[in-house]
Amino acid sequence: SAVISQKPSRDICQRGTSLTIQCQVDSQVTMMFWYRQQPGQSLTLIATANQGSEATYESGFVIDKFPISRPNLTFSTLTVSNMSPEDSSIYLCSVEDGGTGRGAYGYTFGSGTRLTVV
Amino acid sequence: ILNVEQSPQSLHVQEGDSTNFTCSFPSSNFYALHWYRWETAKSPEALFVMTLNGDEKKKGRISATLNTKEGYSYLYIKGSQPEDSATYLCASYTGGFKTIFGAGTRLFVKA
């Protein structure tokens, strides 16, 4: 399966600022997925990033708050904009295993970014 | 709206104890059930992908069972070791090509 490098691993940010999280995959993949886990909550899909097209956002997540870039088939960034304490979460990027583009075989994840907004 | 529920939320056991936790998921539109192990500051690591009712999978001291008709899966750890301390996530992949994660069970194994 793929290997994903994610950075930063953690950060403490001031409210109102923005943080960009980067993920590098060791192989070319069509889709990359961005997840968030707020304290005590389930891992929730923010958006799906496709190379060459705009990201597809899940209900409750908008591009102005979480802009995503996908410049090539091995790299993606997620920006958390105008942060508030409610954005304190673990953010994970992932690719699906099995090559179906549907996630039936599960996912490989980056090591996560633990964000604290103060 | 689909919900995947995991219980307990957290669990403290002594080294050598055997333990198990539960994942409940909607049985309609079921395609696959995934278990992950997530250690702090590391990537979630896939443990099992289960698809068939009655499936049993095993990896070392960890095993899992699946009941798709009633919508639950159990994860068992035999003879827990401190290195088993982690969050165990389950996720249901549905016919809508969506994966819904539970909130995880946080396991603490004391030496």
Chain A: closest CA distance from residue B88 (Å): 12
Rounded CA-CA distance B9/A114 in Å is 20
Q: How far A112 CA sits from the closest chain B CA (Å)?
A: 7
Residues paired with residue A43 on neighbouring β-strands, in sequence order:
none
Contacts of A48 in chain B (CB under 8 A): none
Q: What is the pLDDT of residues B85-103, one digit of tens each?
A: 999 999 999 866 689 999 9
3-state secondary structure at position B86 = strand
Instruction: Give the chain B residue whose CA is nearest to the CA of A59.
Output: B1
* Cα–Cα distance, B77 to A73 (Å, whole number): 38
Strand partners, A7: A22
- In angstroms, what separates the C-alpha of A4 from chain B's closest C-alpha? 9
A-chain residue closest to B40, CA distance: A111
Task: Work out the pLDDT band at B1, boundaries 50, 70, 90.
Answer: very low
Segment A9-55, tens digit of pLDDT: 999 999 999 999 999 999 999 899 999 999 989 999 999 998 888 89
Length of chain B: 111
> What whole-number distance in Å separates Cα of residue A94 and Cα of residue A6?
10
Helix (H, G, I), strand (E, B) or coil at B52: coil
